[in-house]
Structure formats: C-alpha cells, structure tokens
Amino acid sequence: MNASDYPNRPLIGVGVVVFKQDRVILIRRGKPPRAGGWALPGGRQRLGETVREAACREVEEECGLWVDIVALLDVVDSLTHDDDGAVQYHYTLIDFLAEWRDGEARAGGDALEIAWADPTALGPFRLWSETERLVAMAVARRSETAQ
C-alpha cells in the first residue's frame, strides 16, 4: 500500500493532453490506480507548485517533453472503491491542453511506455471514458482556435 491508498481527503493531480502536430501522447501507467492502462501524462501536485508547473513537470518526467500550456480543459473526479466499498483512491484531476515545444518522447517516471496516437482513433488504447472525453474536448478546442 502506498501513501495515496485510502486517503482521508481528495488528492490533487494534473493531466495533460499534449499535441505534437495532429497526434496526442499517451502513457502506459506503471502505478495504481489503473496500473498497466493507457492514460494522459500527469500526476500529483507537489507542495509549493502551481498546477501549471505540476502539469509541465509531469509531462517532462513521464515523457521527456517540454510543453506550453494552452488552456484549462476541465476538472475531473477520479474515485476508486475497493471490494468492500471503501474509497481506495480519490483524486481531483485538473486537466490541461498543451502543445509540444521541445524534446524527444521517451518513457520515464511512472510511465512504462509511451505512444503518439491519432486522437480520432483511440480504441486500441482502451482509455478511461473521462480520458476519451478530455481528448475530444482538446481536439474541439484546437479546432476552435485554428479558425
């Protein structure tokens, strides 16, 4: 069990939909919750760090990329209950849209693997429904600003 198991209050985390041209980066998670599954890069905010700083740091740690935060996308609640119904994980996730600035993609930190994916063909990654929704929001947001 780690420090985020069975919390006494929600923990703050960040997620980032990072675009490089027409692709988004995804990571295969190395730790619970959703260990082994594909997700957006992100993680917990540190004390004294803004959420935007946390977002940039997490992308650099997990993907080796430097990004420019473009917009706040949404705030998502991630709750996981154990078999007895107790809250095992509770995160308030602040999700951003970002554009790749520099760096070569490589898996690091909590990421086991990374992939640049077509945001309109995410089926093979079997993402959490909220992740799919956030990527769709990011695609729409980019389309709006391009017009």
For the segment 36-76, what is each residue's pLDDT rounded down to a tens digit?
A: 999 999 999 999 999 999 999 999 999 999 999 999 999 99
pLDDT by residue (tens digit) across 78-107? 999 999 999 999 999 999 999 999 999 999
Q: What is the CATH number of the domain that holds 87?
A: 3.90.79.10
pTM: 0.93
Kindly give, in sequence order, each residue whose CB lies less than 8 Å from that of residue 3, ignoring residues fewer than 6 positions away. Answer: none
Whether 56 is covered by a domain: the verdict is: yes
Which helix (H) or strand (E) segment holds residue 135: the answer is helix 129-146
Whether 111 is covered by a domain: the verdict is: yes
Whether 3 is covered by a domain: the verdict is: no
Residue 59: Cβ-neighbour burial (10 angstroms; 0-12, 13-18, 19+): buried
Whether 2 is covered by a domain: the verdict is: no
Whether 32 is covered by a domain: the verdict is: yes
Whether 4 is covered by a domain: the verdict is: no
- Domain containing 115 equals 11-146
